[in-house]
Structure 1
Amino acid sequence: MKIEQEGRTVFPVIVSNSSSLKSVNFYLLKERETLYLIDAGMNDEACWNVLLHTLEVNDLSLSDLTGIILTHHHIDHVGLVDRIVLHNQIPVFVHEEAVLRLKRDSVFLEKRADFFEKLYKEMGCGEAGEKQARFVREAIEKNKDNALKTCLTPIEEGFLTSLSLRIIKMPGHAPDQIALYDEKRGWLFGGDLLIGHISSNAIVEPDSSGNRIMTLVQHRESLEKCLKFNMNIVFPGHGMLIENGKSLIQNRLRRIDKKAEKFVSAIGKGFATAAEIAESYYKNVYYDHFSLVMSEVIGHLDYLENQGRVSKTKVEGVWQYTIQL
């Protein structure tokens, strides 16, 4: 499979799986003598073999690669970086916020662990929050070998002349997420900004200084930014290529507002803390997928607070939310 237009070709590298994401997608982008890899899949044999196969059937090889651009730091987007660079010493471009995460900087990771410990206490999560905070802290040592060894080059927002692409910061799903926009062809390489079959999570994270980010507010702003673009094809990090980008974005924006109203309703029924709202709405899923559920609830509460729809007051160290009339 390839998409070709006006001298530029995209070779999608799509690795199917049985998860709700359906597939892990990354992309080879070729024009004249340049060949860039946008994202790098998982660090497993399935992704490695599909990448090599895609190169081979298109008369290409790892030695033809010019560089790698990562849309964000998540493990399913960066997995093959070190393995590729062992074969071909090419530059790896990332958002500046990604460097500490990809290098698993110990000082930053300790700040991050402190952040979640404090956050879950303030949101009234009790034992479930303490358990997740311990998991985050223990992962510092457990996952230390996942740090990328490759030299990383921070990339600025703006025009990437070697590829005639615009690099655009798209925070929300991750604080370091970027998109690559080909205005001439209406192509958007969006990482996990927009996925066709499921909504992307705006995952709660601290910034590089350990401060709280209003992730859902950022995610919504990033989606709204895309409405100004001519989008003939969106190349997502998972699932099928998207040809109805603007209508899908409008649907995602409506879903954010619809869910926000449900959380307003929960507050009206007397569920005052983020944990109470989460447990009342998600039931057992609150415990089974704690971190994702809390990201969803905290993100929507931040969004509602940013709109002036709710306010919060700290009572004995825990934020209590009320409806603003």
Structure 2
Amino acid sequence: MVTSSTGFASACDADYAVASCYRSIDRDEGMEIQRGFFGEVPSLPSKYFYDRVGSELFDAICELDEYYPTRTEASIMRESVDEMVESIGPAGRLIEYGSGSSLKTRLLLEHMHADVTYVPVDISGDYLNQVAENLRRDFPQRRISPIAADFTRPFRLPSSTASQARDVVYFPGSTIGNFKPAFAATLLSQMRNQVGTGGGLLIGFDLQKDPAVLEAAYDDRRGITALFNLNLLRHLNRVAGGDFDLEAYRHIALYNDQEHRIEMHLESCREQTVSLVGRTRTLAKSERILTELSHKYTVDGFTEMAAASGWKREQVWTDANEYFAVGMFRA
């Protein structure tokens, strides 16, 4: 069945007009899109899920019954937050990559010392600023320093007043799994270089499990994940000169057992020619565009990948079903 986007389009147009929630891409981003979409197997960078509407759709996904990662990670955080804060120690800055709504971070902020500066980093600038304002209201004594940036590239941190305290990266939600292993290792190395020797990394990662559980989590009955996937095309139409017809694609989610990952695709419902970043490509009927990967790990396998990027595992917390893990690593 083809997922319809008509209602989604009418609901979102006014939000876009009012919020100005898109931005223009730069030359490097245009080249990145070209390499993916015009390659042998078409793909699109998953970071373009996250304009304001995409961020709000993802928040809705996190509330779905099928989507276990958010509630499972949150339960781990609630049960072990005191141990996590103790493991983090006297941090100067807590730097969250891909902060989104910062909901899980609130639990850490409630328990950490008031002098810790919170640095949320997110590609969706409007949404980020809205979240930061809410945090300043709820945590008036804490310094909140948002950075609108693509965290897959190096970015400059705000100055810290706590010269003797270490920096800690917080990377929840198993977002690390959205990258192929080689790039995930590169990103872990970037984090390692950013915090320096003695710095910390508190990171969530999804564990291998029954494929039926995984596929349901990425293809919910209500179709919210399908709308989230289609929003990537809408976003690229606005920022990258695309002319995708959202009615002409359907959402696909499947588990690749060999690579231990969920793959999300958008399947073309007919033969069509698409323009994007100044070039055109013809898609055959049933040809798929890869939009997201979500790798699933074992604790030992993830520890090995982190060690190769300069991180030493200190502690790992999991749930009773061993669906998800949160790990503390030291540089």
State the TM-score, normalizing by the size of structure 1.
0.29
**Relative contact order, CA 8 A, sep 6+: which one is greater?**
2
State the TM-score, normalizing by the size of structure 2.
0.29
